[in-house]
């Protein structure tokens, strides 16, 4: 009786080891989860003109602080400026969060089956999906 396993010729020395690939994928998944948990526990600040905001490493806004005496609550222009500065401080913090996430997750997020610099999914043997 012949062996009808279509993957039979892929095993062996220097061949296709599905168990090793599965183990590597599980290790990468564990590293990804650990990096995401670390990001969630991290606090990042951003500021602009007397306004400071805090975000978690996952981008959740947790605090907004305004320096005392910076704004006149009865002046419409001052309040408009305050709103603009809150947005600017948030964008500052969000840029820092994005950089932090890219640093922490970048090596883990880019581990596809394609070649270096290739964002398209690839099957073993160079066949695109």
pTM for the whole structure: 0.61
Is the residue at 91 inside a domain? yes
pLDDT at 118: 45
Q: What's the CA gap between 9 and 40, in Å, rounded?
A: 45
On the question of pLDDT at 3 being above 70, the answer is no
User: What is the SS3 assignment for 24?
Assistant: helix
Range of the domain at 72: 18-108
**Reported confidence tier of residue 6, pLDDT bands at 50, 70, 90:** low
Is the residue at 86 inside a domain? yes
pLDDT of 58-114, one tens digit each? 889 999 999 998 888 899 999 999 999 999 999 999 999 998 888 877 766 654 444
Is the residue at 7 inside a domain? no
Q: What's the CA gap between 95 and 103, in Å, rounded?
A: 12
Residue 104: CATH number of its domain:
3.30.1310.10
Is the residue at 104 inside a domain? yes
pLDDT at 25: 85
Q: How many distinct structural domains can be found in the chain?
A: 1
User: What is the SS3 assignment for 110?
Assistant: coil
Enumerate the β-bridge partners of residue 55.
Answer: 44, 61
On the question of pLDDT at 55 being above 90, the answer is yes
Is the residue at 121 inside a domain? no
On the question of pLDDT at 16 being above 60, the answer is yes
Is the residue at 128 inside a domain? no
pLDDT at 14: 56
Q: What's the CA gap between 11 and 18, in Å, rounded?
A: 9
Is the residue at 51 inside a domain? yes
pLDDT at 91: 95
The residue with greater pLDDT, 81 or 32, is 81
pLDDT at 17: 80
Cα dihedral: 76, 81, 83, 86 (round 10): -150
Mean pLDDT across the chain, nearest whole number? 78
Is the residue at 71 inside a domain? yes
């Amino acid at each position: 009786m012949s062996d009808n396993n279509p993957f039979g010729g892929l095993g062996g020395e220097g061949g296709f080891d599905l168990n090793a690939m599965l183990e590597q994928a599980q290790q990468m998944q564990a590293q990804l989860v650990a990096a995401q948990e670390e990001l969630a526990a991290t606090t990042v600040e951003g500021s602009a003109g007397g306004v400071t905001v805090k975000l978690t490493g996952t981008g959740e806004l947790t605090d907004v602080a305004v320096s005392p005496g910076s704004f006149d609550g009865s002046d419409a222009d001052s309040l408009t400026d305050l709103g603009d500065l809150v947005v600017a401080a948030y964008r500052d913090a969000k840029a820092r969060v994005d950089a932090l996430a890219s640093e922490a997750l970048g090596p883990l997020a880019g581990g596809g089956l394609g070649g270096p610099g290739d964002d398209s999914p690839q099957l073993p043997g160079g066949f695109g999906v």
